[in-house]
Structure 1
Amino acid sequence: MTIEDLRAELDAIDRQFLEVLRVRIEKCVEIGHFKREHGVPMMQPQRIGVVQERAARYGAEHGISQEFLRDLYDLIIDETCRVEDVVIAGRSS
């Protein structure tokens, strides 16, 4: 195996990661529509805590820095909240 082979495998993993991230954001768009239609507030702090705790547990179980996962999920949550806010307000992203 060469470094190029390893990098090609890493590139494939990155594509999968980005695809899953895109699907996650699309699901948040669906959630935004639901929230708009049912008058549910965009911000759900308890849900954010659940997601962050699950990521922290995953990190602990798999030897991944919990701080890194917390920072990563902060970014993901910020973006999905932005997307949901746009959907709830009825604007285009």
Structure 2
Amino acid sequence: MTIESLRAELDAIDERFLEELRARIEKCVEIGYFKRDNNVPMMQPHRIGMVQERAARFGALHGIDQDFLRRLYDMIIEETCRVEDLVIRGSEA
């Protein structure tokens, strides 16, 4: 095992992580269309809380700092809300 092979493994993990993040954003675009077509408000505070709590529980189970995961999801949710808002307003996402 070398530092280069370890970094290559880390790079592969990052690639999968980013692909999943892209898939999450694409799903939020679909949700944005649904909300627009069905007159559902963009902001769903209870849903945001559920997502953040699920991330915190995951952290507790897997030894990942819960505050870090909440902050990470704050950024992810901020971006997906921005994208959903663009879709709902009829702009390109």
**Aligned residue number for residue 43 of structure 1:** 43
**AA at the equivalent of 1:32:** G
Q: Within 5 Å, which residues of 2 pair with 1:3-82?
A: 3-82=3-82
Unaligned runs of 5+ in 2: none
Task: Give the Å deviation of 1:86.
Answer: 0.1
Unaligned runs of 5+ in 1: none
> Which deviations, in whole Å up to 9, do the C-alpha atoms of 1:32-69 show, x marking residues without a partner?
00000000000000000000000000000000000100
Q: What is the CA–CA distance in structure 2 between the aligned matches of 1:59 and 1:46, rounded to whole Å?
A: 20
Q: What is the CA–CA distance in structure 2 between the aligned matches of 1:27 and 1:83, rounded to whole Å?
A: 11
Amino-acid identity (%):
75
TM-score for the superposition, normalised by structure 1: 0.99
Number of aligned residue pairs: give it: 93
Cα RMSD, aligned residues only: 0.4
Q: What is the CA–CA distance in structure 1 between the aligned matches of 2:5 and 2:79, rounded to whole Å?
A: 33
Describe the SS at the equivalent of 1:91: coil
Task: Give the Å deviation of 1:92.
Answer: 1.6
